[in-house]
Amino acid sequence: MSYYKSIRPYIFKLDCEKAHTLANIMCQIADFFPPILSYLSKKTEVENKTLTQNIDGMQFHNPIGLAAGFDKNATMIRPLCALGFSHLELGAVTPQPQSGNPKPRVWRHIQEESIQNAMGFNNEGSLTISKRVQKLYPFAIPLGINIGKNKTTPEADALNDYLKLAKDFANLSNYLSINISSPNTPNLRALQNKSFVKELIVELCKVYQKPIYLKLAPDLPMQDILELTDEAINNGAKGIIATNTTLDYSLVPNPKEIGGLSGAVLKQKSLEITKELGKILKNKATLISVGGIFNAKDAYERILYGASLVQIYTAFIYEGPFVVQTINQELLSLLQQDGFDNIALAVGAKL
Ligand SMILES: Cc1cc2nc3c(=O)[nH]c(=O)nc-3n(C[C@H](O)[C@H](O)[C@H](O)COP(=O)(O)O)c2cc1C
């Protein structure tokens, strides 16, 4: 049993948000002591050309990224990089600061290796967060910004929120991830319609010249997912991030009444969507798969079905801080076993 697994029961005695605050504090401490960061970087590094890729003009030293929502305020960039992630998706950031939904708003479903969250885009807002990112940007690894609208912004003005964020981060990020798929901002998912997606991407491309990825919800009918993907790509998006959390409460025995589910219970849904999107995006646009990825086998499966990159959130909580290293080491063996000299050759190999 790993060291983390042996202390996990004690961490899990803490309420989720308190545990997250503790992680944040540990990151701040590590950030203060460069030798800790360099020790961690050396320990977690799985340096091998087989894992490296250049995607949409960005260099990735492995395919495992941190999914949005863990570092909402961009306070943990250097420590998270030292844990081996190849890219970090920061946010969700909204134009104005907002406190999110009332607590409690995050719960663990431990048996199911799942998290249910109803955070509601709690973050310090674009001004504060962009100033913080400015101190580090350009950074050693690609930094994406997950952008969302403020809760109080009426649907009719949503576009302006996204445009403001794109402008604020135009010179402070390597890519944007458009979040219209969170279940925790009222009516946000209603923006997942073809006409809004078209207008949004067209307008965003005018103010943001780097890659724009659209992050989709797993609860849409497959036909809608495919049509929204077409609309996004045909109007300038470079790819799709699939998926956000699910509202399918049948997946856990004792669901709370609000919030989206992530982790192992999302795996099947996210995999199915990856397979379908892999087919239509192959050689055309980038697919980033997220949802229920816990180990190298899970990550490899997504890659074989067309994902160039994968992201994790819940596995980081359940498997611990060294999960990226473990996944990368095992992924390297899987790629070598199958005779792939570079991971890019494995992308979509099963399609
Ligand atoms: C506590 C929590 C907060 C999240 N916040 C965001 C967010 O702000 N923006 C976003 O796009 N996704 C957010 N997500 C969704 C994750 O980025 C990811 O899409 C989802 O959790 C599925 O991946 P996983 O199964 O590896 O956790 C959040 C997830 C969790 C558990």
**Residues 305, 348: contact at Cβ < 8 Å?**
yes
For the CA of 241, the closest atom of ligand 1 is 19
- Asked if 343 and 306 touch (Cβ cutoff 8 Å), the reply is no
Let me know: does 55 contact 63? Beta carbons within 8 Å.
no
Cβ count near 180 (within 10 Å): 25
Atom of ligand 1 lying closest to residue 123 CA: 8
Q: Is 101 helix (H, G, I), strand (E, B) or coil?
A: coil
Residue among 94, 244, 293 whose CB has most ligand 1 atoms within 8 A, to mutate: 244
CA-angle at 48, arms to 215 and 87, nearest 5°: 25
For 171-183, the pLDDT digits (tens) are 999 999 999 999 9
Q: What percent of the chain has pLDDT over 90?
A: 99
- Provide the pLDDT for residue 1: 75
The third-level CATH classification (topology) of the domain covering 3-346 is TIM Barrel (3.20.20)
Residue 272 has pLDDT above 90, yes or no: yes
Mutate to test the pocket of ligand 1, among 119, 245, 323 (most ligand atoms within 8 A of CB): 245
- CB-ligand 1 contact for 122 (6 Å cutoff): no
Neighbour tally for 282: CB within 10 Å:
14
Indicate the residue type of 220.
L
In ligand 1, the atom with minimum distance to the C-alpha of 267 is 25
Spans of all domains in the chain? 3-346
What mean pLDDT value characterizes the chain?
A: 98
Q: At what angle do helices 296-304 and 267-281 cross, to 10 degrees?
A: 30
Environment class of 141 (CB within 10 Å of its CB; exposed 0-12, middle 13-18, buried 19+): buried
How many helices (H) does the chain have, and how many strands (E)? 13, 13
User: What pLDDT band is residue 2 in, cutting at 50, 70 and 90?
Assistant: confident
Average pLDDT over residues 282-308: 98
- Specify whether the CB–CB gap between 62 and 146 falls below 8 A: no
Q: Which residue numbers are catalytic?
A: 182
Decide whether any atom of ligand 1 lies within 6 Å of the 244 Cβ.
yes
Residue from 99, 109, 262 to probe ligand 1 pocket by mutation (most atoms less than 8 Å from CB): 262
Using a 6 Å cutoff on CB, does residue 114 contact ligand 1? no
Which ligand 1 atom lies nearest to the CA of residue 316? 26
Burial status of residue 309 (CB atoms within 10 A of its CB: 0-12, 13-18, 19 or more): buried
271 lines ligand 1 (CB under 6 A): no
State the pLDDT confidence band at 230, using cuts at 50, 70 and 90.
very high
CA of 338 to the centre of ligand 1 (A): 31
Looking up tokens 């250049």 gives: 54
Question: Contact at 8 Å (CB) between 42 and 305?
Answer: no
The answer to whether the beta carbons of residues 132 and 74 sit under 8 Å apart is yes
